Chain A
């Protein structure tokens, strides 16, 4: 089946630093990836849609200058949390569709837990 990986799985950083999270589709190409955020005991909230070769589309209320998304290839999207603050601490999950395949199923990465001290 389709496998999506994320790196790192867990990161702890100091307030004010930037953190990059990678999302890779391991055995398929993905022109579209999504970034979600999940707070403890809450549902997933869509942050942005990452499109290969073009700018990401951000959901209302998500700061594009704070959450930088780059989708440079068909297998890699990155989310950079810039100048992280404790309120950015959360579980970040990416997902991807298979390019050219049935466009109805998203495959999710294992998530990255970010803790900002």
Chain B
């Protein structure tokens, strides 16, 4: 079975500082990894994905994530946080081995960027 862990319920950073939102995963085969962002009462917006290739993936709004196979992690990062980045962030995984196309989501991490 596939699973995703987001160990932090909330991350607080000051505007302009770098941010990291942590994610670890567990799958049987090769992982397809995703980050989505959710604003209040809204659906999920796609940020970035890792399927294969370079371990460092760049996505929307200046976000990036690094795939680390040995640590089974896919942490989301941004060099300089904005107040407008404050939202709920979800990490998700899909197992390429099973062929199951549905995503398994982590519990979410609320990012709060203080001005």
Contact = CB atoms under 8 A, between A and B. Distances in A.
Q: Which DSSP category, helix, strand, loop or mixed, fits chain A's interface?
A: strand
A104 B33 CA distance: 9
A110 B45 CA distance: 9
Contact of A43 (B41, B43, B45, B108): B108
Contacts of B36: 108
B103 interface: yes
A105 B42 contact: no
B101 A110 contact: no
A34 B49 contact: no
Contact of B107 (A43, A46, A95, A104): A43
Interface string A71-108: 00000000000000000000101010100000111111
Bin the interface of chain A by size.
20 to 34
A57 B105 CA distance: 19
A101 B28 CA distance: 25
Contact of B90 (A4, A6, A34, A44): A44
Interface string A15-55: 00000000000000000101000000011101001000000
A49 B102 contact: yes
A113 B44 CA distance: 14
